[in-house]
Structure 1
Amino acid sequence: MNKTQPSNQEDQEIDLIQIFRKIGSFFQSVNTFLFNCIQFFVKNAVVILILLLLGVGLGFYLDETKKIYNHQITVTPNFGSTDYLYSKIDLIESKIQEGDTIFIKDVLGLKKPKEILKIKIKPVTDVYKFIENKKENFELIKLMAEDGDIKKVLEENLTSKNYKFHTITFQTKHIISEKSAIEPILFFLNESEYYSKIQKETVNNIQLKMIQNDTIIAQINGVLSGFSGAAKGTKSNNLVYYNENTQLNDIIKTKESLINEQGFLRVDLVGLNSIVKENSSILNIENNTSTNGKLKFILPILFLLSFIFIYLFVKYYKSQLKKSKLI
């Protein structure tokens, strides 16, 4: 038993020595690696400096000359023209991707057809506006949400196309003006013989409705004036009777309802002067997503990494070539 204890102690001492040796070897390897890195950068300092300066300079140049600008138009498709609007935008996008400059210049009306890069449209998700004064829309969302995620239901194609507002976004290579791009695009979107007829009849119907409402309001005013005149020549107990008369209250409520309707119809007419009505537009937002505007930082790093890779590849190739000659 006494012989076993010294043997175990010796084994433990050997294990500790090996561990310390491995730790020392690891730090030595790290030290060697750091020294080699420093030596590499010192030895190739001129080349590395040139590559960094070249990368920064080229990056600045490309960032300034290859800028991309985003533009947004918020529109309202009237007269049930939502599907028509989306199909028109899809047509423009397909022509852009095909490089059909004749269509973009002559049909769409953009004087510089190669300037536009892409275009798309998506709805402005506004569920409150969607269900406002429309009980059937609220019931529809409730029904659809029973079988799935409410957020998914609100954003899916079937629901989203029924929202009032939609945003058209497109990209160009240079700064644009409303006259050079927005007006031609909106003119193209509003060029529809069918929806122009629908627009004409819809506006005409609203105007007729407003004339009829004004006539009814005038008649109600006449009736109320008659009640007022009659009330002045009667005793107080008759006046109480008139105030409590159900028919008179109904007439007053009808007048109030018609006045409110007239207000809504006047507001509606403001937005019905176009098939696709422009609500607002934001132009020339510099696109800084992906590598846009960041090449001044990316290119120097890319050049440096490429140089290191080539250096290591050449070094590896030479070492393997030397080994092959010794065999």
Structure 2
Amino acid sequence: MNKNVPNNLEDQEIDLSQISKKIRSLLQRFNTFLFRCIQFFVKNGIVVSILLIVGVGLGLFLDQTEKNYEHQIIVAPNFKSTDYLYSKIDLLASKIAEKDFFFLKSIGIKNTQEINKISIEPIVDIYKFINNEGQNLELLQLMAQNGDLKTIAKETSISKNYDFHTIILSTQGITSQKRTVEPILNYLNTSPYFRGAQKISISNIRQNIKTKEGIIAQIDGILDQYSSSNGNRQKSDKLIYYNENTQLNDIIKTKDSLTKDIGTLKIQLFNSDKIIKDCTVIMNIQNTKSINGKLKFVLPAVLILGFIFISFFISFYRKQSLKTEQNSTI
């Protein structure tokens, strides 16, 4: 046991000395690399300064002239036209990517060359989706067993069931609603099939409202008769909120329910004036994502890095050429 202890100590000392040598070697290499970098920039200071000035100047110019803007159109597809809406936006996106300016002009867009892209995404409202139909909760629970609920909520099969969606349009430069947005909305509302569905739906809503208003008028008549029979001077159902007569209470609750239904139907009628109802349009939001608006910082870095790469490539090529020549002479 005692004989092994000195050997272990010696081994540890050897290991520590080797580690310290490696650390010193790495530090020396780092110092050499740092010195060469400083030497390179000192030697090529004029070129680097020129590239820096040119990059900043060109970047400032491009940031001012090549501004990209986003425009958001919040829409509500009616008459189960969500799939139609998404397919139309996909078609527009492909035409913009193909730079099919003839097609874009044919639907009324004025600034065809300024449009960069168009896309659509749902406005996720998972709570309303669940409340609309009880089976939706069971569906989400079943799907969530195999994945994240947030991811599932944005899947195409689920997202198309939300009431509102956002069309995102990107343009180079500022545009107006009349030049760009209105032609797109008019194009989305030109389906003969959904125009027919719109007429039938509006007729059904109006008939439903008329029927419910007729039932309310009958209920008002019953309440007036009840008030008269009880000797009430004011023949108004507003004074009747509770009575021991259960049937009368049910009639009042029915009237309240019908009134709420009529309010909902009137909102539906208001939203049914278009196949794709535009709810809100937000124009000219400057896009600062990625390198947009940051070219004054990006271009100088790209130019300097490119110069460094070319310089090191030339230096490497010369060294290898010299080695090749020396080997050939030997």
TM over 0.5: yes
Residue aligning to 2:6? none
1:90-239 equivalences in 2 (<5 Å): 90-107=90-107, 109-145=108-144, 148-232=147-231
| 140-149 vs 317-326, greater mean Cα deviation | 140-149
C-alpha deviations, 1:84-116, integer Å up to 9, x for none?
Answer: 111111111111122211110112x11121111
> Structure 1's 247 and 22: CA in aligned 2 closer, same or farther, altered over 3 A?
closer
Normalising by the residue count of structure 1, what TM-score does the alignment of the two structures yield?
Answer: 0.85
Normalising by the residue count of structure 2, what TM-score does the alignment of the two structures yield?
Answer: 0.84
> Structure 1's 216 and 20: CA in aligned 2 closer, same or farther, altered over 3 A?
closer
Instruction: Give how far 1:63 is off.
Output: 1.9
Letter in 1 for 2:175: I
Letter in 1 for 2:161: N
> Structure 1's 16 and 256: CA in aligned 2 closer, same or farther, altered over 3 A?
closer
Residue aligning to 2:88? 88
> Structure 1's 232 and 90: CA in aligned 2 closer, same or farther, altered over 3 A?
same
1:57-96 equivalences in 2 (<5 Å): 57-96=57-96
Gaps of 5+ in 2: 1-8, 233-241
| 24-33 vs 253-262, greater mean Cα deviation | 24-33
Letter in 1 for 2:124: T
Residue aligning to 1:55? 55
Gaps of 5+ in 1: 1-8, 234-241
| 174-183 vs 23-32, greater mean Cα deviation | 23-32
Residue aligning to 1:253? 253
Letter in 1 for 2:199: K
Instruction: Give how far 1:135 is off.
Output: 2.7
Letter in 1 for 2:126: V
Taking the aligned partners of 2:147 and 2:47, their CA distance within structure 1 comes to 60
Residue aligning to 1:269? 269
> Structure 1's 201 and 314: CA in aligned 2 closer, same or farther, altered over 3 A?
same
Partner of 1:232: helix, strand, or coil? coil
C-alpha deviations, 1:55-110, integer Å up to 9, x for none?
Answer: 11111122222222111111100011111111111111111122211110112x11
* Aligned length, in residue pairs: 313
Instruction: Give how far 1:165 is off.
Output: 0.6
> Structure 1's 137 and 322: CA in aligned 2 closer, same or farther, altered over 3 A?
closer
1:25-64 equivalences in 2 (<5 Å): 27-64=27-64
Instruction: Give how far 1:18 is off.
Output: 8.2
Instruction: Give how far 1:24 is off.
Output: 5.9
Give the conservation status (yes or no) of the 8 Å contact 2:111–2:180.
no
Matched, 1:278 2:278: yes
Letter in 1 for 2:184: I
Give the conservation status (yes or no) of the 8 Å contact 2:51–2:304.
yes
> Structure 1's 58 and 222: CA in aligned 2 closer, same or farther, altered over 3 A?
same
Residue aligning to 1:291? 291
Instruction: Give how far 1:174 is off.
Output: 1.1
> Structure 1's 247 and 13: CA in aligned 2 closer, same or farther, altered over 3 A?
closer
Partner of 1:132: helix, strand, or coil? helix
Taking the aligned partners of 1:14 and 1:205, their CA distance within structure 2 comes to 93
Taking the aligned partners of 1:43 and 1:17, their CA distance within structure 2 comes to 38
Instruction: Give how far 1:39 is off.
Output: 2.6
Partner of 2:285: helix, strand, or coil? strand
